[in-house]
Structure 1
Amino acid sequence: METTQNTFEQFKLNRQLLNAIEEAGYTTPTPIQEQAIPLALAGQDILGIAQTGTGKTAAYALPLLMRIKYAQGQHARALIMAPTRELAMQISEAIIQLSKYTDIRTVVLFGGVGPKSQIEAIRDGVDIIVATPGRFMDLYFREEVTVKHLNVMILDEADKMMDMGFMPQIRKLLEIIPVKRQNMLFSATFSEKVERLSHEFLEFPTRIEVTPQATTAEMVSQTLYELPNFHTKMNLLSHLLRDEEVFNRVLIFTRSREVAGLVHQYLLGRVVREDALRVIHANKGQNTRTNAMEAFREGSVRVMVATDVVSRGIDITEVSHVINFDVPLMYEDYVHRIGRTGRANHVGQAITFMTFADEYHIRKIEKMIRMEIPRTKLPAEIEMMETPRNEMQDMLREIDNQKRKEDPTFLGAFHEKKAYRPPSKFNQKDSRARRGASSRTKKR
């Protein structure tokens, strides 16, 4: 008898789940789903190395729902941990969608909003909790969460949890939950921190790696512009965004909320219509962030400026461009940022702006992704601005810090009484002459 291959039928899931899968539009399992679902159904511990956008939420959610089957008792039997509010909400939505033909109860817990409604939801009875570590531990210490019935524990985006400093909460959690349980850990990269956590958390796990570590999305073309300073970056960004037909859904990433605010204010009304532009970062309230993401997902917002709070786990399938206004200092975040485009077989483009102080970080990123990011010439009409003295000094200090990392005996350029001249490709002499000629022409 011929066996049906490459459908969800092959996993022998119950009819309620298969109906929900079909309604959600899933037809063929992704590689991570093909490998993880049978192992998870068999009760094995799993270490999954997979990029965001590979379908790993369903890879652990479907076997989890098969295991739980139906609502039972008052207390959670499974816990899924995620590093950010946005990812926790997305996981919860996916599980609710897949369990719609069951009576399984899912509650999502995250900070940034008052806990009252979340506590009420837990008291009403829960089977699966999806949570950020901080809010979960807060409600545990308030004795609002009972952990003794937990028999499945899943850590999603474990590398981001390590980067965000959640290791103490994770260790406390491992001390209080039952020892006898099934564990699954998913991460886009397998850093030393994640490896240490996997030894503490998993028992004889099966490792699944569907793509090489830190592989950039195949459907994403990457390009890099070399720019001297912040104001020239803004000139290029404005130039690109004026082409609304090509740049039709754009995510702009910055290192800090301060820079995100400056970029947003500069673009507002001048380059992008007010109703088509949003900014989100850690200082924004949860409702503001949720509404902004929904508007961006639906397409009513064309341009979103964000910090790395949204670089992982947010599934928006038709982002045309990701622009790295700042080069990320957590190098894995480069992979996650550009992974927001080129999803679900859509082609995407990732554009990175690099100052001479960023070259060190770009070299590290290129080593990690095992490729050189192609450089692109600046459009001739981009005005190259003078670098203010304080910005130049900040960049020089950054270069000193980079050199000290490589050589602890290095004293620093400020100890050498020589004027620093940026590399020729960042030099502003020709651009100043060009700008001067341009302004003289305008005066005539």
Structure 2
Amino acid sequence: MTQFTDLGLSQPVLQALDLKGYKEPTPIQAQAIPPVLEGRDLMGIAQTGTGKTAAFMLPSIDRLRDADNQTPFKSCRMLVLAPTRELAGQIADSAKDYGALAGLKVHSIVGGTSVNKDRNKLHRGTDILVATPGRLLDLIDQKAFTLDKVEILVLDEADQMLDLGFIHALRRISELVPENRQTLFFSATMPKQIQELVGKYCRNPVKVSVTPESSTAERIDQYLFMVQQDEKQTLLEMILSERHEVPGKFERVLIFARTKHGCDRIVKKLGQVGIPANAIHGNKSQPQRERALDEFKRAKTPILVATDVAARGIDIPGVSHVLNYELPNVPEQYVHRIGRTARAGRDGVAIAFCAEDERDYLKDIRKKTDAEFERLALPDNFRAVVEGVGPTKREQKPKLARPKVRPAGGSSAGRDKPKQKHPARKGKPAGGGQGRPGGGRPGGNRNRSRSRAAR
């Protein structure tokens, strides 16, 4: 078994790993660290949760130390681009942890925060900068920051940046950095436009890819409710208030909706029946997003409603359930959504609500991801509740104000499964996720049969 000590990392980096209890590299780390240490450009195909942040950050920290260049004025030595604020924050936190003993300055800049504060904190420059493309270009346009001293350029979740419309920003930024920099691309998939970027901005890159022995989707039990669009809220309230039992024991519940207004509407209606929840999407300010994530992590408010923008930015252990309130119109997004559960070797539950006008989306998800759903029946009294005959959702006090929360770090998700179960669906994870940086099990998220999930 390969150890971090076998990969050529420096003593300060190894000490930082030891302090965090990490001994063995994940597959993407074992493949990527040696060529990055050698200064090679790299193209990595890996899902979120496989430890790819450490795969590029650990050797880059060593290369910055060895070069021993001064921190540049109004610039940086290493630039990491991330598609979302949340992911940028997580990468910056990892950089600070791994570089704690290397004496490197780390900063992050994202949209939704004060531009003036960003200008002030970057005035003296930094060694490692983690940024979202829009905010970085804002500072460049204001002559508050330059990229002429960048030694290492990293594009993380490149395909999601493409999905979010950052392709022109990526091209512009890539043109502003020195030609002799080292370039590292990481992406869950390899669309044509990403291939073109790699071909144009990388020099003979080493290509590494992770093919897991057991996909995350094999540890996710997937269920389906067929329900009319205007009745989904009622069903959701009955499930969350535990007036209708579903598989699994609630710990943290992540709900996906298609639009920002849809997220806010769900949260508002849940609050009206005594079920606290938070929303996270692009219209929320950075402090609001951080507060919602913090309350979700601490299980203070264990229900979070999100758009797909947050799908790859949230890496929180203990998400027991993912609810697709609305099915995505892109099958791959379904994979990314359900990948928020079944982290670090644990099992998870994914529940989809499908209305009549979403049947085509469901068909595409089944066809392109090999997802297998077990259909669940609506509550016996569902029609009466919807039509206001007998106890309604407002007249009947919810059994719980929120899902029962088990202490984080408990064993597995203690799930109560229905009697009817697809026996072929349980796949045993290969190896554990313990002692591995990056928050995931090795190769835990791959697109393959049974609709796997991503970081």
1:210 deviates by 0.7
C-alpha separation between the residues in 2 aligned to 1:52 and 1:310? 12
Q: Pick 1 or 2: higher relative contact order, CA cutoff 8 A, min separation 6.
A: 2
Relative to the length of structure 2, the TM-score reads 0.79
Identify the range of structure 1 (354-363 vs 161-170) with the bigger mean alpha-carbon deviation.
354-363
Give the counterpart letter for 2:191 in structure 1: S
Q: After TM superposition, where is structure 1 displaced by more than 6 Å over at least 4 residues in a row? A: 435-439
**What is the one-letter code of the residue matched to 2:366?**
E
Measured on the aligned residues, the alpha-carbon RMSD in Å equals 2.4
Q: 1:167 to 1:43 in 2, by over 3 A?
A: same
Q: Name the structure where helix makes up a greater proportion of residues.
A: 1
Quick one: which of 3, 28, 38 aligns to 1:7?
A: 3
- The 3 A distance-change label for structure 1 pair 39 and 250 is same
CA deviations over 1:350-404 (Å, ceiling 9, x no partner): 11111122121222223332x1331312243351489xxxxxxxxxxxxxxxxxx
Q: For residue 91 of structure 1, report the CA deviation from its aligned partner.
A: 0.6
Letter in 2 for 1:176: L
Structure 2: 5+ residue stretches without partners? 393-455
After superposition, the C-alpha distances for 1:161-210 in whole angstroms (9 at most, x for unaligned) are 10111111111112221111211111112223322332223222222221
On the 8 A contact 1:238/1:271 being kept in 2, the answer is: no
Larger Rg: 1
Distance apart, 1:85 and its partner CA: 0.9
Is the CA contact (8 Å cut-off) linking 2:36 and 2:42 kept in structure 1?
A: yes
Deviations 1:94-141 (A, max 9, x none): 111111112101111111111122112211330111111111111111
**Partner amino acid, structure 1, of 2:160:** K
What's the counterpart of residue 412 of structure 1?
A: none
* AA of the residue aligned to 1:348: G
- 1:128 and 1:379 map into 2 onto residues whose CA distance is 52
Q: Percent identity?
A: 37
Indicate the residue corresponding to 1:117 in structure 2.
117
Counterpart AA for 2:260 = R
CA distance in 1, matches of 2:381, 2:336: 29
Q: 1:380 — aligned with what?
A: 379
Runs (5+) with no aligned partner, structure 1: 387-430, 440-444
Q: Which moved more, 1:152-161 or 1:17-26?
A: 17-26
Partner of 2:317, secondary structure, is: coil
Give the letter for the 2:70 counterpart.
Answer: Q
Task: Note the 1:94-133 alignment, pairs <5 A.
Answer: 94-133=94-133
CA distance in 1, matches of 2:185, 2:11: 27
The size of the alignment, in residue pairs, is 383
Q: Determine whether 1:193 maps to 2:193.
A: yes
Amino acid at match of 1:181: R
Please state if 1:250 is matched with 2:253. Answer: yes
Name 1:268's counterpart in structure 2.
Answer: 271
Cα distance change of structure 1 residues 217 and 238 upon mapping to structure 2, 3 Å threshold: same
User: What residue is the counterpart of 2:437 in the other structure?
Assistant: none
CA separation in 2, counterparts of 1:217 and 1:154? 28
Aligned twin of 1:420 = none
In structure 2, what is the Cα distance between the partners aligned to 1:309 and 1:204? 32
Q: Are the equivalent residues in 2 in contact too, given 1:109–1:132 (CA < 8 A)?
A: yes
Please name the residue that 1:151 is paired with: 151
Paired letter, 2:239? L
One-letter amino acid matched to 2:234 = N
Secondary structure of the 1:318 match is: coil
3-state DSSP of counterpart to 1:108? strand
CA distance in structure 2 between the aligned counterparts of 1:338 and 1:306, rounded to whole angstroms: 12
The answer (yes or no) to whether the contact 2:7–2:34 under 8 Å persists in 1 is yes
Counterpart of 1:191, as a letter, is P
